[in-house]
Amino acid sequence: MTAGSPPNGGGRYRIATIPGDGIGVDVTAEAVAVLDAVLAGIEWTEFDWSCAKYLRTGTMMPADAPERLAGFDAILLGAVGFPGVPDHISLWGLLIPLRRAFGQYVNLRPVRLLPGTESALRDRTAADLDILIVRENSEGEYSAIGGMHHPGRPDEFVRQEAIFTRVGCERIIRYAFECAAERDGRVCSATKSNGLLHSMPYWDSIFERIAAEYPQVETRQMHVDALAAEIVLHPDRLDVIVGSNLFGDILSDLAAAVTGGLGLAPSGNINPERTGPSMFEAVHGSAPDIAGQGIANPVAQILAGAMLLEHLGEHSAAAAVDRAVCDVLREGRIRTPDLGGTATTSEFGSAIARRAAELVNNGSVLAQR
């Protein structure tokens, strides 16, 4: 679910790709091929912004990067990060500035058990593992406010400020309720109001106020540590989870791990008002240990492409991609090593692209989970 009115389907789109580093390059190429297989008329523009660029030039991307991307309909982002470049450099040098420049205050992370895959949890089925995590993406704990004081002295300390605005809390919580209204009608808020004296009680009060606007939606509030346990012990009790920047980040990785692994989990950085492009990416990182070997699993990035199509209003094309992924996984003949197979990244991606094209050509594009 991406709030706001999408454009009419069937149009031509300008989509930017930032393949990034490591396996991001390989899986982005496969996602592009799959999207081209289901939708004609996409004009792709690739940008080489990455850690490799940082090592060459001292910057992850040029200063005018937001201006150069502003005219695109969407952005497909590969994983960013590589040895030799500290994580805070790669994150704050590219991903976070783009999220904030384009008002992408929703980080949408669907996690589900896909056909032909196994959960890390014993005896759990796809019916038990279908969770949508709605993460606040622009403020909260990921704030640039703070710094180091008295460096090198015995009384050296650092200060990191978390920012929770009324606007920021209200819009992400309301978005989660809108998502729940379209799903099973349940929202669970991640909090820690027993330990964080100011921010989480404030978050809780806004959650309670927004909940009153949605009497048809069942609500829960759980401390984030208890909620982490709930994901492992009773995932079937969860539908939509809404959390702050930090809590949503951690919980979504945990949920992806128990539903088959990070190689299967997509995400979207959404601008619901559509005042700027939204950006779609896999949850996983750049995996430098397997980069260049052609064995990376492209499913997460391909499903991120499906989310991109859905956001653009291309519902049939998005459904074809989703079902193609499910069909190829269900068949089980072509898989990358992380899923117990021997296929290369390209072979796996090509199988999904062929199946997606068949579904479009046959008119059989209903999502099948």
Spatial distance between the Cα atoms of 313 and 6, rounded to a whole number of angstroms:
5
Residue 253 annotated in active site:
yes
51 contacts 82 by C-beta, under 8 angstroms: yes
Terminus-to-terminus CA distance in the chain, angstroms? 16
Inter-CA distances, 68 with 58, 138, 276, Å: 19, 21, 12
Q: Are strands 130-136 and 106-112 parallel, antiparallel or unpaired?
A: antiparallel
Residue 261 class from Cβ within 10 Å (0-12 exposed, 13-18 middle, 19+ buried)? buried
130, 142, 239, 322: the catalytic one is 142
184, 204, 253, 338: the catalytic one is 253
175, 192, 239, 322: the catalytic one is 192
DSSP conformational letter for 337? G
21, 73, 130, 249: the catalytic one is 249
Residue 54 annotated in active site:
no
Residue 36 annotated in active site:
no
Residue 327 annotated in active site:
no
63 contacts 49 by C-beta, under 8 angstroms: no
Q: Are strands 240-243 and 130-136 parallel, antiparallel or unpaired?
A: parallel
Residue 239 annotated in active site:
no
- List residues with catalytic annotation: 142, 192, 225, 249, 253
